[in-house]
Structure 1
Protein backbone atom coordinates (compact mmCIF):
# COMPACT_ATOMS: atom_id res chain seq x y z
CA UNK A 1 0.00 0.00 0.00
CA UNK A 2 1.30 3.43 -0.98
CA UNK A 3 -0.38 6.62 0.11
CA UNK A 4 -0.80 9.21 -2.65
CA UNK A 5 -0.78 12.99 -2.27
CA UNK A 6 -3.98 14.71 -3.36
CA UNK A 7 -5.39 18.23 -3.07
CA UNK A 8 -9.04 19.15 -2.66
CA UNK A 9 -10.05 22.69 -3.61
CA UNK A 10 -12.31 24.34 -1.03
CA UNK A 11 -13.36 27.94 -0.58
CA UNK A 12 -10.26 29.22 1.19
CA UNK A 13 -7.71 27.29 -0.92
CA UNK A 14 -6.46 23.69 -1.03
CA UNK A 15 -6.77 20.93 1.52
CA UNK A 16 -3.86 18.53 1.16
CA UNK A 17 -4.52 14.87 1.86
CA UNK A 18 -2.84 11.50 1.84
CA UNK A 19 -5.17 9.04 0.15
CA UNK A 20 -5.47 5.39 -0.71
CA UNK A 21 -8.42 5.15 -3.10
CA UNK A 22 -9.31 2.03 -5.07
CA UNK A 23 -12.23 0.65 -7.05
CA UNK A 24 -12.98 -1.90 -4.31
CA UNK A 25 -16.48 -2.02 -2.90
CA UNK A 26 -15.22 -1.10 0.54
CA UNK A 27 -15.94 1.69 3.01
CA UNK A 28 -13.83 4.84 2.92
CA UNK A 29 -12.34 6.00 6.20
CA UNK A 30 -12.11 9.78 6.41
CA UNK A 31 -9.42 10.20 9.06
CA UNK A 32 -9.22 13.58 10.80
CA UNK A 33 -6.19 14.52 12.88
CA UNK A 34 -5.88 16.66 15.99
CA UNK A 35 -4.86 20.26 16.66
CA UNK A 36 -1.34 21.11 15.47
CA UNK A 37 -0.91 17.57 14.13
CA UNK A 38 -1.41 16.53 10.50
CA UNK A 39 -2.40 13.46 8.50
CA UNK A 40 0.92 11.86 9.42
CA UNK A 41 -0.73 11.19 12.78
CA UNK A 42 -2.48 8.21 11.16
CA UNK A 43 0.36 6.98 8.94
CA UNK A 44 1.43 4.18 11.33
CA UNK A 45 -2.13 2.73 11.19
CA UNK A 46 -2.59 3.15 7.44
CA UNK A 47 -1.11 -0.17 6.32
CA UNK A 48 -3.34 -2.27 8.57
CA UNK A 49 -6.45 -0.21 7.82
CA UNK A 50 -5.85 -0.18 4.06
CA UNK A 51 -6.21 -3.96 3.96
CA UNK A 52 -9.91 -3.41 4.66
CA UNK A 53 -10.77 0.15 3.64
CA UNK A 54 -9.95 3.03 1.34
CA UNK A 55 -8.41 5.99 3.16
CA UNK A 56 -8.68 9.77 2.90
CA UNK A 57 -6.45 11.53 5.43
CA UNK A 58 -6.55 15.33 5.04
CA UNK A 59 -4.49 18.01 6.72
CA UNK A 60 -6.76 20.56 8.37
CA UNK A 61 -6.45 24.16 7.09
CA UNK A 62 -3.28 25.75 8.40
CA UNK A 63 -1.76 22.35 9.18
CA UNK A 64 0.68 20.11 7.33
CA UNK A 65 0.69 20.65 3.57
CA UNK A 66 -2.72 22.40 3.45
CA UNK A 67 -2.97 26.09 2.66
CA UNK A 68 -3.18 28.61 5.46
CA UNK A 69 -6.28 30.73 5.66
CA UNK A 70 -6.10 34.50 5.20
CA UNK A 71 -4.71 37.00 7.67
CA UNK A 72 -8.22 37.68 8.98
CA UNK A 73 -8.98 34.06 9.86
CA UNK A 74 -8.22 32.67 13.30
CA UNK A 75 -9.67 29.22 12.60
CA UNK A 76 -12.92 29.36 14.60
CA UNK A 77 -14.10 25.88 15.48
CA UNK A 78 -17.28 25.68 13.41
CA UNK A 79 -15.40 26.68 10.24
CA UNK A 80 -13.71 23.28 10.46
CA UNK A 81 -17.15 21.67 10.14
CA UNK A 82 -17.74 23.67 6.94
CA UNK A 83 -14.29 22.72 5.60
CA UNK A 84 -15.04 19.06 6.33
CA UNK A 85 -18.40 19.26 4.59
CA UNK A 86 -16.83 20.76 1.47
CA UNK A 87 -14.38 17.86 1.37
CA UNK A 88 -17.07 15.22 1.89
CA UNK A 89 -19.13 16.61 -0.99
CA UNK A 90 -16.15 15.95 -3.27
CA UNK A 91 -15.97 12.29 -2.23
CA UNK A 92 -19.23 11.55 -4.00
CA UNK A 93 -21.38 8.62 -2.97
CA UNK A 94 -18.63 6.57 -1.37
CA UNK A 95 -19.73 5.00 1.94
CA UNK A 96 -17.82 7.25 4.36
CA UNK A 97 -17.04 6.52 7.99
CA UNK A 98 -15.42 9.24 10.05
CA UNK A 99 -12.43 8.56 12.30
CA UNK A 100 -11.22 11.56 14.29
CA UNK A 101 -8.56 12.15 16.90
CA UNK A 102 -9.00 15.01 19.38
CA UNK A 103 -9.93 18.11 17.31
CA UNK A 104 -10.76 15.81 14.40
CA UNK A 105 -13.22 13.90 16.56
CA UNK A 106 -14.82 17.10 17.87
CA UNK A 107 -15.40 18.37 14.34
CA UNK A 108 -16.60 14.98 13.11
CA UNK A 109 -19.13 14.73 15.93
CA UNK A 110 -20.64 18.10 15.01
CA UNK A 111 -20.78 17.22 11.31
CA UNK A 112 -22.42 13.90 12.16
CA UNK A 113 -25.16 15.77 14.03
CA UNK A 114 -25.71 18.42 11.36
CA UNK A 115 -25.74 15.88 8.53
CA UNK A 116 -27.13 12.88 10.34
CA UNK A 117 -28.66 11.48 7.16
CA UNK A 118 -25.18 11.11 5.63
CA UNK A 119 -23.20 9.96 8.67
CA UNK A 120 -22.87 6.16 8.68
CA UNK A 121 -20.51 5.71 11.62
CA UNK A 122 -18.16 7.73 13.80
CA UNK A 123 -15.00 6.76 15.67
CA UNK A 124 -13.76 9.32 18.20
CA UNK A 125 -10.27 8.92 19.62
CA UNK A 126 -9.78 10.82 22.88
CA UNK A 127 -13.07 12.71 22.61
CA UNK A 128 -16.71 12.51 23.66
CA UNK A 129 -18.35 15.08 21.43
CA UNK A 130 -17.50 18.79 21.11
CA UNK A 131 -15.71 20.75 23.82
CA UNK A 132 -17.81 22.99 26.01
CA UNK A 133 -17.51 25.06 29.15
CA UNK A 134 -19.72 26.70 31.73
CA UNK A 135 -21.81 29.62 30.53
CA UNK A 136 -20.38 31.92 33.22
CA UNK A 137 -16.96 31.62 31.53
CA UNK A 138 -18.11 33.44 28.38
CA UNK A 139 -16.78 36.90 29.34
CA UNK A 140 -13.39 35.57 30.46
CA UNK A 141 -13.17 33.45 27.31
CA UNK A 142 -13.86 36.45 25.05
CA UNK A 143 -11.27 38.65 26.78
CA UNK A 144 -8.55 35.99 26.76
CA UNK A 145 -9.21 35.11 23.14
CA UNK A 146 -8.97 38.69 21.91
CA UNK A 147 -5.83 39.35 23.95
CA UNK A 148 -4.19 36.18 22.63
CA UNK A 149 -4.49 37.54 19.10
CA UNK A 150 -2.63 40.68 20.07
CA UNK A 151 0.10 38.62 21.75
CA UNK A 152 0.45 36.00 19.02
CA UNK A 153 3.92 34.48 18.70
CA UNK A 154 5.51 32.93 15.64
CA UNK A 155 6.34 29.20 15.77
CA UNK A 156 9.75 28.57 17.30
CA UNK A 157 12.71 27.77 15.08
CA UNK A 158 14.60 24.54 15.66
CA UNK A 159 18.18 23.59 14.79
CA UNK A 160 17.36 20.18 13.28
CA UNK A 161 14.71 17.64 12.45
CA UNK A 162 16.04 15.54 15.32
CA UNK A 163 15.36 18.41 17.72
CA UNK A 164 11.78 18.62 16.46
CA UNK A 165 11.30 14.89 16.94
CA UNK A 166 12.66 14.99 20.48
CA UNK A 167 10.46 17.99 21.31
CA UNK A 168 7.30 16.22 20.15
CA UNK A 169 8.32 13.00 21.87
CA UNK A 170 8.57 14.87 25.15
CA UNK A 171 5.13 16.37 24.66
CA UNK A 172 3.24 13.40 23.21
CA UNK A 173 5.05 10.47 24.90
CA UNK A 174 5.21 8.62 21.57
CA UNK A 175 8.26 6.86 20.13
CA UNK A 176 10.47 8.68 17.63
CA UNK A 177 9.67 6.06 14.98
CA UNK A 178 5.93 6.53 15.29
CA UNK A 179 6.19 10.34 15.46
CA UNK A 180 8.38 10.63 12.38
CA UNK A 181 5.58 10.73 9.75
CA UNK A 182 3.73 13.41 11.75
CA UNK A 183 6.78 15.59 12.43
CA UNK A 184 8.31 15.38 8.95
CA UNK A 185 4.99 16.46 7.42
CA UNK A 186 4.67 19.29 9.93
CA UNK A 187 8.11 20.90 9.57
CA UNK A 188 10.20 22.43 6.80
CA UNK A 189 13.83 23.43 6.44
CA UNK A 190 14.50 27.12 5.78
CA UNK A 191 18.21 27.68 5.29
CA UNK A 192 19.98 26.32 8.35
CA UNK A 193 16.88 26.16 10.57
CA UNK A 194 13.76 24.04 10.77
CA UNK A 195 10.37 25.69 11.15
CA UNK A 196 6.90 24.28 11.89
CA UNK A 197 4.56 24.53 8.91
CA UNK A 198 1.37 25.21 10.87
CA UNK A 199 -0.17 28.67 10.90
CA UNK A 200 0.88 30.66 13.98
CA UNK A 201 -2.74 31.83 14.39
CA UNK A 202 -3.73 28.31 15.40
CA UNK A 203 -2.14 28.90 18.80
CA UNK A 204 -4.41 31.81 19.69
CA UNK A 205 -7.24 31.00 22.08
CA UNK A 206 -10.85 30.61 21.04
CA UNK A 207 -12.99 33.68 21.64
CA UNK A 208 -16.07 31.50 22.08
CA UNK A 209 -16.74 27.98 23.28
CA UNK A 210 -20.17 26.42 23.28
CA UNK A 211 -22.07 25.83 26.49
CA UNK A 212 -22.74 22.37 27.89
CA UNK A 213 -26.35 22.61 26.72
CA UNK A 214 -25.24 23.39 23.16
CA UNK A 215 -22.86 20.42 23.20
CA UNK A 216 -25.59 18.17 24.53
CA UNK A 217 -28.01 19.13 21.75
CA UNK A 218 -25.35 18.46 19.13
CA UNK A 219 -24.48 15.05 20.55
CA UNK A 220 -28.14 14.10 20.84
CA UNK A 221 -28.46 14.94 17.15
CA UNK A 222 -26.03 12.15 16.17
CA UNK A 223 -28.03 9.23 14.81
CA UNK A 224 -25.25 6.90 13.66
CA UNK A 225 -23.40 4.40 15.85
CA UNK A 226 -20.38 5.88 17.63
CA UNK A 227 -17.29 4.31 19.13
CA UNK A 228 -15.07 6.28 21.52
CA UNK A 229 -11.50 5.07 22.00
CA UNK A 230 -10.07 6.56 25.19
CA UNK A 231 -6.47 6.40 26.42
CA UNK A 232 -6.03 5.04 29.92
CA UNK A 233 -3.70 7.99 30.65
CA UNK A 234 -5.26 10.47 28.22
CA UNK A 235 -7.17 13.64 29.05
CA UNK A 236 -8.53 13.30 32.61
CA UNK A 237 -11.76 15.05 31.55
CA UNK A 238 -12.63 11.99 29.48
CA UNK A 239 -12.68 9.87 32.64
CA UNK A 240 -14.51 12.39 34.84
CA UNK A 241 -18.09 12.47 36.20
CA UNK A 242 -18.97 14.92 33.40
CA UNK A 243 -17.72 12.39 30.88
CA UNK A 244 -20.14 9.83 32.30
CA UNK A 245 -22.98 12.32 31.76
CA UNK A 246 -21.83 12.94 28.21
CA UNK A 247 -21.90 9.24 27.40
CA UNK A 248 -25.62 9.20 28.18
CA UNK A 249 -26.28 11.82 25.49
CA UNK A 250 -25.34 9.42 22.68
CA UNK A 251 -28.03 7.22 21.16
CA UNK A 252 -25.63 4.40 20.28
CA UNK A 253 -22.20 4.60 21.93
CA UNK A 254 -19.48 2.03 22.55
CA UNK A 255 -16.50 3.03 24.70
CA UNK A 256 -13.18 1.21 24.49
CA UNK A 257 -10.15 1.87 26.67
CA UNK A 258 -6.63 1.35 25.31
CA UNK A 259 -3.17 1.87 26.73
CA UNK A 260 -1.65 5.27 26.16
CA UNK A 261 -1.94 8.99 26.62
CA UNK A 262 -3.71 11.54 24.40
CA UNK A 263 -2.07 10.03 21.29
CA UNK A 264 -3.10 6.53 22.33
CA UNK A 265 -3.75 5.54 18.70
CA UNK A 266 0.03 5.72 18.19
CA UNK A 267 0.85 3.96 21.44
CA UNK A 268 -1.70 1.13 20.95
CA UNK A 269 -1.67 0.90 17.19
CA UNK A 270 -2.66 -2.73 16.70
CA UNK A 271 -5.50 -2.51 19.23
CA UNK A 272 -6.80 0.79 17.83
CA UNK A 273 -6.71 -0.45 14.24
CA UNK A 274 -8.44 -3.70 15.24
CA UNK A 275 -11.22 -1.80 17.03
CA UNK A 276 -11.78 0.44 14.00
CA UNK A 277 -11.78 -2.49 11.58
CA UNK A 278 -14.30 -4.48 13.62
CA UNK A 279 -16.59 -1.48 14.22
CA UNK A 280 -16.70 -0.22 10.64
CA UNK A 281 -16.89 -3.68 9.06
CA UNK A 282 -19.91 -4.65 11.15
CA UNK A 283 -21.67 -1.37 10.36
CA UNK A 284 -20.96 -1.71 6.65
CA UNK A 285 -22.18 -5.32 6.49
CA UNK A 286 -25.36 -4.31 8.34
CA UNK A 287 -25.91 -1.46 5.88
CA UNK A 288 -25.46 -3.83 2.93
CA UNK A 289 -27.90 -6.35 4.36
CA UNK A 290 -30.48 -3.62 4.96
CA UNK A 291 -30.22 -2.58 1.29
CA UNK A 292 -30.62 -6.16 0.10
Structure 2
Protein backbone atom coordinates (compact mmCIF):
# COMPACT_ATOMS: atom_id res chain seq x y z
CA UNK A 1 0.00 0.00 0.00
CA UNK A 2 1.22 3.56 -0.60
CA UNK A 3 2.65 5.43 2.35
CA UNK A 4 0.35 7.91 4.08
CA UNK A 5 1.41 11.56 4.05
CA UNK A 6 3.22 13.00 7.03
CA UNK A 7 1.23 15.14 9.45
CA UNK A 8 2.83 17.99 11.39
CA UNK A 9 2.38 18.22 15.13
CA UNK A 10 3.59 20.57 17.85
CA UNK A 11 4.55 18.96 21.13
CA UNK A 12 5.47 20.58 24.43
CA UNK A 13 8.94 20.27 25.94
CA UNK A 14 8.45 22.09 29.24
CA UNK A 15 7.05 25.13 27.46
CA UNK A 16 9.23 24.92 24.35
CA UNK A 17 7.34 23.94 21.17
CA UNK A 18 8.81 20.96 19.33
CA UNK A 19 7.90 20.29 15.72
CA UNK A 20 7.29 16.63 14.90
CA UNK A 21 6.12 14.94 11.73
CA UNK A 22 4.63 11.48 11.69
CA UNK A 23 2.77 9.15 9.38
CA UNK A 24 0.55 6.15 10.08
CA UNK A 25 0.07 6.90 13.80
CA UNK A 26 -1.68 3.57 14.27
CA UNK A 27 1.14 1.58 12.69
CA UNK A 28 3.86 -0.60 14.12
CA UNK A 29 6.71 -0.67 14.78
CA UNK A 30 7.25 2.92 15.92
CA UNK A 31 10.55 4.37 14.65
CA UNK A 32 11.87 7.80 15.64
CA UNK A 33 14.45 9.53 13.40
CA UNK A 34 16.87 12.13 14.80
CA UNK A 35 18.68 14.48 12.42
CA UNK A 36 22.17 15.96 12.48
CA UNK A 37 23.56 19.29 13.67
CA UNK A 38 21.91 22.32 12.01
CA UNK A 39 19.83 19.93 9.88
CA UNK A 40 16.10 19.21 10.15
CA UNK A 41 13.67 16.34 9.87
CA UNK A 42 13.35 16.67 6.08
CA UNK A 43 16.87 15.28 5.78
CA UNK A 44 15.20 11.86 6.08
CA UNK A 45 12.55 12.45 3.38
CA UNK A 46 14.35 10.56 0.56
CA UNK A 47 15.03 7.65 2.90
CA UNK A 48 11.43 7.53 4.14
CA UNK A 49 10.23 6.91 0.59
CA UNK A 50 11.81 3.45 0.86
CA UNK A 51 10.64 2.49 4.36
CA UNK A 52 7.72 0.10 5.00
CA UNK A 53 4.54 2.19 4.65
CA UNK A 54 2.85 0.50 7.63
CA UNK A 55 5.45 1.73 10.13
CA UNK A 56 4.66 4.53 12.54
CA UNK A 57 7.44 6.80 11.30
CA UNK A 58 8.22 9.83 13.46
CA UNK A 59 10.59 12.67 12.53
CA UNK A 60 11.67 15.24 15.13
CA UNK A 61 13.11 18.72 14.71
CA UNK A 62 15.48 19.30 17.63
CA UNK A 63 14.99 22.51 19.61
CA UNK A 64 16.45 25.50 17.83
CA UNK A 65 16.46 23.67 14.48
CA UNK A 66 13.95 23.09 11.72
CA UNK A 67 10.50 24.30 12.74
CA UNK A 68 10.95 23.79 16.48
CA UNK A 69 11.09 26.67 18.92
CA UNK A 70 14.23 28.50 19.98
CA UNK A 71 15.30 28.87 23.59
CA UNK A 72 14.84 32.26 25.22
CA UNK A 73 17.33 35.08 25.79
CA UNK A 74 20.27 34.12 27.96
CA UNK A 75 19.79 30.40 27.37
CA UNK A 76 22.02 27.99 25.49
CA UNK A 77 21.85 24.58 23.84
CA UNK A 78 23.47 21.51 25.38
CA UNK A 79 23.53 17.88 24.38
CA UNK A 80 21.44 16.86 27.37
CA UNK A 81 18.69 19.27 26.26
CA UNK A 82 18.16 17.15 23.16
CA UNK A 83 17.53 14.12 25.35
CA UNK A 84 14.63 16.14 26.77
CA UNK A 85 13.42 16.60 23.18
CA UNK A 86 13.39 12.83 22.66
CA UNK A 87 11.59 12.20 25.95
CA UNK A 88 9.03 14.93 25.23
CA UNK A 89 8.36 13.33 21.84
CA UNK A 90 7.84 9.84 23.25
CA UNK A 91 5.63 11.15 26.05
CA UNK A 92 3.71 13.53 23.80
CA UNK A 93 2.93 10.76 21.32
CA UNK A 94 2.23 8.19 24.09
CA UNK A 95 5.01 5.92 22.87
CA UNK A 96 6.22 3.66 25.68
CA UNK A 97 8.98 2.26 23.47
CA UNK A 98 10.49 3.07 20.09
CA UNK A 99 13.25 2.16 17.67
CA UNK A 100 15.75 5.02 17.33
CA UNK A 101 17.64 6.04 14.18
CA UNK A 102 20.11 8.92 14.46
CA UNK A 103 22.42 10.65 12.02
CA UNK A 104 25.53 12.47 13.29
CA UNK A 105 24.36 14.62 16.24
CA UNK A 106 21.12 12.63 16.17
CA UNK A 107 23.11 9.45 16.64
CA UNK A 108 24.95 10.92 19.62
CA UNK A 109 21.63 11.92 21.18
CA UNK A 110 20.08 8.54 20.36
CA UNK A 111 22.95 6.66 21.96
CA UNK A 112 22.92 8.80 25.09
CA UNK A 113 19.14 8.47 25.43
CA UNK A 114 19.29 4.69 24.97
CA UNK A 115 21.84 4.55 27.78
CA UNK A 116 19.68 6.68 30.09
CA UNK A 117 16.34 5.07 29.22
CA UNK A 118 17.16 1.50 28.15
CA UNK A 119 13.62 0.29 28.86
CA UNK A 120 12.20 2.61 26.16
CA UNK A 121 14.46 1.71 23.24
CA UNK A 122 13.95 -1.41 21.12
CA UNK A 123 16.88 -0.94 18.75
CA UNK A 124 19.43 1.70 17.84
CA UNK A 125 20.73 2.57 14.37
CA UNK A 126 23.66 5.00 14.20
CA UNK A 127 24.35 6.66 10.84
CA UNK A 128 27.77 8.30 10.61
CA UNK A 129 27.84 8.63 14.38
CA UNK A 130 29.79 7.01 17.18
CA UNK A 131 29.83 9.78 19.75
CA UNK A 132 31.34 13.22 20.33
CA UNK A 133 35.02 14.00 20.19
CA UNK A 134 35.86 15.26 23.65
CA UNK A 135 39.56 15.59 22.99
CA UNK A 136 42.36 15.18 25.53
CA UNK A 137 41.95 16.35 29.15
CA UNK A 138 44.28 19.31 28.60
CA UNK A 139 41.71 20.74 26.17
CA UNK A 140 39.19 21.38 28.95
CA UNK A 141 40.48 24.86 29.77
CA UNK A 142 40.50 25.97 26.16
CA UNK A 143 36.97 24.64 25.75
CA UNK A 144 35.77 26.85 28.59
CA UNK A 145 37.56 29.85 27.09
CA UNK A 146 35.93 29.21 23.73
CA UNK A 147 32.52 28.95 25.38
CA UNK A 148 32.95 32.30 27.14
CA UNK A 149 34.29 33.98 24.00
CA UNK A 150 31.38 32.75 21.88
CA UNK A 151 28.83 33.91 24.45
CA UNK A 152 30.04 37.50 23.93
CA UNK A 153 29.36 37.41 20.20
CA UNK A 154 25.83 38.35 19.11
CA UNK A 155 24.02 35.71 17.03
CA UNK A 156 24.61 36.32 13.34
CA UNK A 157 21.81 35.17 11.03
CA UNK A 158 23.20 35.40 7.51
CA UNK A 159 20.97 36.29 4.60
CA UNK A 160 21.02 34.86 1.08
CA UNK A 161 19.37 36.26 -2.04
CA UNK A 162 17.75 32.95 -3.03
CA UNK A 163 17.17 29.42 -1.78
CA UNK A 164 19.65 28.26 -4.40
CA UNK A 165 22.31 30.59 -2.98
CA UNK A 166 21.67 29.18 0.49
CA UNK A 167 22.06 25.68 -0.93
CA UNK A 168 25.37 26.61 -2.52
CA UNK A 169 26.59 27.92 0.82
CA UNK A 170 25.79 24.54 2.34
CA UNK A 171 27.86 22.82 -0.31
CA UNK A 172 30.78 25.13 0.36
CA UNK A 173 30.67 24.13 4.02
CA UNK A 174 30.16 20.44 3.22
CA UNK A 175 31.68 19.55 -0.18
CA UNK A 176 30.43 15.95 -0.03
CA UNK A 177 26.83 17.18 -0.04
CA UNK A 178 25.21 16.60 -3.44
CA UNK A 179 23.43 19.49 -5.19
CA UNK A 180 20.04 17.79 -4.73
CA UNK A 181 20.68 17.19 -1.03
CA UNK A 182 21.83 20.76 -0.47
CA UNK A 183 18.72 22.08 -2.22
CA UNK A 184 16.50 19.85 -0.05
CA UNK A 185 18.16 21.21 3.09
CA UNK A 186 17.81 24.80 1.91
CA UNK A 187 14.20 24.51 0.73
CA UNK A 188 13.00 23.13 4.05
CA UNK A 189 15.55 24.88 6.26
CA UNK A 190 15.11 28.54 5.25
CA UNK A 191 12.41 31.15 5.68
CA UNK A 192 11.99 34.40 3.74
CA UNK A 193 12.95 37.56 5.61
CA UNK A 194 10.87 40.78 5.50
CA UNK A 195 13.43 42.09 2.98
CA UNK A 196 12.73 39.19 0.61
CA UNK A 197 15.95 37.33 1.31
CA UNK A 198 16.38 33.81 2.73
CA UNK A 199 17.69 32.95 6.21
CA UNK A 200 18.22 29.54 7.75
CA UNK A 201 15.71 28.63 10.44
CA UNK A 202 18.18 27.17 12.93
CA UNK A 203 19.13 29.32 15.90
CA UNK A 204 22.63 30.70 15.20
CA UNK A 205 23.45 30.18 18.88
CA UNK A 206 23.84 26.50 17.98
CA UNK A 207 27.20 27.48 16.49
CA UNK A 208 28.57 28.45 19.89
CA UNK A 209 31.06 26.09 21.46
CA UNK A 210 30.13 23.97 24.45
CA UNK A 211 31.70 24.70 27.82
CA UNK A 212 31.75 21.04 28.83
CA UNK A 213 32.03 17.70 27.09
CA UNK A 214 32.36 14.00 27.74
CA UNK A 215 35.85 12.62 28.03
CA UNK A 216 36.51 9.26 26.40
CA UNK A 217 36.09 7.23 29.59
CA UNK A 218 32.70 8.80 30.27
CA UNK A 219 31.51 8.21 26.73
CA UNK A 220 32.61 4.58 26.75
CA UNK A 221 30.69 4.13 30.00
CA UNK A 222 27.56 5.41 28.27
CA UNK A 223 28.09 3.01 25.40
CA UNK A 224 28.53 0.12 27.83
CA UNK A 225 25.11 0.93 29.33
CA UNK A 226 23.29 0.24 26.04
CA UNK A 227 21.15 -2.88 26.31
CA UNK A 228 19.29 -2.88 22.98
CA UNK A 229 20.66 -4.20 19.67
CA UNK A 230 22.81 -1.63 17.84
CA UNK A 231 23.85 -1.31 14.22
CA UNK A 232 26.32 1.17 12.75
CA UNK A 233 26.03 2.52 9.20
CA UNK A 234 28.88 4.53 7.68
CA UNK A 235 29.72 6.32 4.44
CA UNK A 236 32.87 5.29 2.59
CA UNK A 237 33.88 8.97 2.40
CA UNK A 238 32.29 10.02 5.70
CA UNK A 239 33.77 10.82 9.08
CA UNK A 240 37.12 9.14 9.65
CA UNK A 241 37.97 8.70 13.33
CA UNK A 242 41.33 7.17 14.09
CA UNK A 243 41.35 3.36 13.86
CA UNK A 244 42.06 3.08 17.58
CA UNK A 245 39.21 5.42 18.55
CA UNK A 246 36.80 3.70 16.16
CA UNK A 247 37.66 0.23 17.43
CA UNK A 248 37.49 1.27 21.06
CA UNK A 249 34.02 2.68 20.64
CA UNK A 250 32.80 -0.33 18.67
CA UNK A 251 34.18 -2.65 21.35
CA UNK A 252 32.31 -0.71 24.05
CA UNK A 253 28.97 -1.40 22.33
CA UNK A 254 28.33 -4.78 23.88
CA UNK A 255 25.09 -5.28 21.92
CA UNK A 256 26.53 -4.30 18.54
CA UNK A 257 25.15 -6.58 15.83
CA UNK A 258 27.89 -7.26 13.30
CA UNK A 259 30.56 -4.92 11.96
CA UNK A 260 29.65 -1.47 10.59
CA UNK A 261 27.95 -1.53 7.20
CA UNK A 262 29.66 0.81 4.75
CA UNK A 263 27.87 2.45 1.81
CA UNK A 264 29.31 4.56 -0.99
CA UNK A 265 28.93 8.18 0.06
CA UNK A 266 29.92 10.90 2.49
CA UNK A 267 28.70 12.09 5.86
CA UNK A 268 25.10 12.36 4.58
CA UNK A 269 25.18 8.87 3.10
CA UNK A 270 21.47 8.36 3.85
CA UNK A 271 20.77 11.09 1.29
CA UNK A 272 23.17 9.66 -1.26
CA UNK A 273 22.06 6.03 -0.85
CA UNK A 274 18.51 6.34 0.54
CA UNK A 275 17.22 3.03 -0.77
CA UNK A 276 20.17 0.98 0.46
CA UNK A 277 20.28 2.67 3.87
CA UNK A 278 16.50 2.32 4.25
CA UNK A 279 16.79 -1.39 3.48
CA UNK A 280 19.45 -1.82 6.16
CA UNK A 281 17.26 0.02 8.70
CA UNK A 282 14.14 -1.94 7.77
CA UNK A 283 15.88 -5.30 8.04
CA UNK A 284 17.39 -4.42 11.41
CA UNK A 285 14.21 -2.98 12.91
CA UNK A 286 12.06 -5.89 11.77
CA UNK A 287 14.55 -8.34 13.25
CA UNK A 288 14.25 -6.60 16.61
CA UNK A 289 10.52 -6.02 16.91
CA UNK A 290 9.16 -7.19 20.24
CA UNK A 291 5.91 -7.13 22.10
CA UNK A 292 6.94 -3.84 23.79
CA UNK A 293 6.85 -1.93 20.45
Indicate the TM-score class for this superposition, using the shorter chain for normalisation. Answer: over 0.9
**2:13 corresponds to:** 10
Partners of 1:263 and 1:21 lie apart in 2 by: 26
Correspondence for 2:276: 271
Q: In the aligned structure 1, how far is the partner of 2:33 from the partner of 2:71?
A: 21
Aligned to 2:234: 230
Per-residue CA distance 1:64-99 (angstroms, 9 max, x = gap): 111101112210111111221122122324541000
1:244 positional shift: 0.7
> 1:195-232, CA deviations, whole angstroms, 9 ceiling, x for partnerless residues?
11111110101111111111011110000011111111
Residue 169 of structure 1 contacts residue 175 of structure 1 at CA under 8 Å; is this kept in 2?
yes
3-state secondary structure, aligned to 1:81:
helix
Which residue of structure 1 lines up, in the alignment, with residue 223 of structure 2? 219
Cα-to-partner distance string for 1:150-177 (whole Å, 9 max, x where unaligned): 1244121101111012222333333333
Matched residue pairs, number? Answer: 285
- Quick one: structure 1 residues 122 and 214, their matched pair in 2 at CA, closer, same or farther if it must change by over 3 Å? same
Q: 2:35 touches 2:61 (CA, 8 Å); kept in 1?
A: yes
Structure 2 equivalent of residue 36 of structure 1: 38
167-176 or 214-223: bigger deviation: 167-176
- Partners of 2:36 and 2:106 within 8 A in 1: yes
**Selected match of 2:53 from 32, 51, 54:** 51
Give 1:120's match in structure 2, choosing from 110, 122, 125: 122
Q: Which residue of 2 aligns with 1:27?
A: 29
2:265 is the counterpart of 1:260: yes
How many angstroms apart in 1 are the aligned matches of 2:183 and 2:233?
23
Q: 1:247 to 1:270 in 2, by over 3 A?
A: same
Match of 1:203 among 196, 200, 207: 207
SS in 1 for 2:168: helix
- Superposition pairs for residues 167-178 of structure 1, below 5 Å? 167-172=169-174, 173-178=176-181
Residues 134-189 of structure 1, C-alpha deviations (whole Å, 9 max, x = no match): 22211111111111111244121101111012222333333333333322221011
Is the contact made by 1:28 and 1:55 (CA closer than 8 Å) also made in structure 2? yes
Structure 1, unpaired ranges of 5+: none
Name the SS for the 1:273 alignment partner: helix
Structure 1 runs (4+) deviating above 4 angstroms are none
CA distance in 2, matches of 1:188, 1:16: 15
Q: Aligned equivalents of 1:93 and 1:207: distance in 2?
A: 33
Whether contact under 8 Å (1:152, 1:204) holds in the other structure is no
The CA deviation at 1:267 is 1.0
TM-score (norm 1): 0.92
For residue 60 of structure 1, give the secondary structure of its aligned residue in structure 2. Answer: coil
Q: How far apart, CA to CA, are the structure 2 residues paired with 1:194 and 1:114?
A: 39
**Cα distance between partner residues in 2 of 1:193 and 1:182:** 16
